[in-house]
Amino acid sequence: MKLLAKVALIAALISGVAQASVVVIANPMGPDALSKKQVSKLYLGKSKKLPNGAKAQVIEQATGSAIRGEFHDGVTGKSDSQLQAYWSRLVFTGKGKPPKTIGSASLIKSQVASHANAIAYIDSSEVDDSVKVVFTP
C-alpha cells in the first residue's frame, strides 16, 4: 500500500512539472492581453510599441535556456541559432537591436514588476501578483 501511495505521489509531481508552461507577463499597469502576432513582432523587433502606444521594454531569457527555446518555438518559430543570425543581420545593418537579456526568472519578474511597459516570458509556475499574464502560447 505504501508503494502505491509513493507511485501516486511521484506521478502527481511529474504531471505538475509537465503542466508548467511558458507565459508572457507584463506589469499590472500594462496591457491586459497580447496576441501571438503582437508578441512575435515585439520579440523580433518588428514592433516597438504596446497596444496602448507606449514604447515596450522587451526582456529576453538567456541564450540556450530551455524556456527560451520553448518560447521561440511556439511564438516566433525561430531556433536559437536562427535568432542569433536574425539579430546579427539587423544589428550589422543598423536596423535593429535585440531585446535586453536577463538570465534569472526572478530578476526578469522584478524588472517587469517595476517597469510599466516591460514584457517578458517566464515559466507559469513563477507568476505571482507582482505581474500579470498577457499571453499563453
Residues counted in the chain: 137
Instruction: Give the residue among 61, 66, 133 at the shortest CA–CA distance from 104.
Output: 61
Q: What is the pLDDT of residue 17?
A: 45
pLDDT tens digits for the chain (137 residues)?
A: 555 445 444 544 444 444 579 999 999 999 999 999 999 999 999 999 999 899 999 999 999 899 999 999 999 999 999 999 999 999 999 999 999 999 899 999 999 999 999 999 999 999 999 999 999 98
Strands 22-26 and 118-123, sheet pairing: antiparallel
Predicted TM-score of the model (pTM): 0.83
Instruction: Give the residue among 76, 71, 53, 52 at the shortest CA–CA distance from 61.
Output: 71
H helix or E strand, kind and range, residue 123: strand 118-123
Q: What gap in Å lies between CA 32 and CA 24, rounded to an integer?
A: 11
Q: What is the pLDDT of residue 46?
A: 95
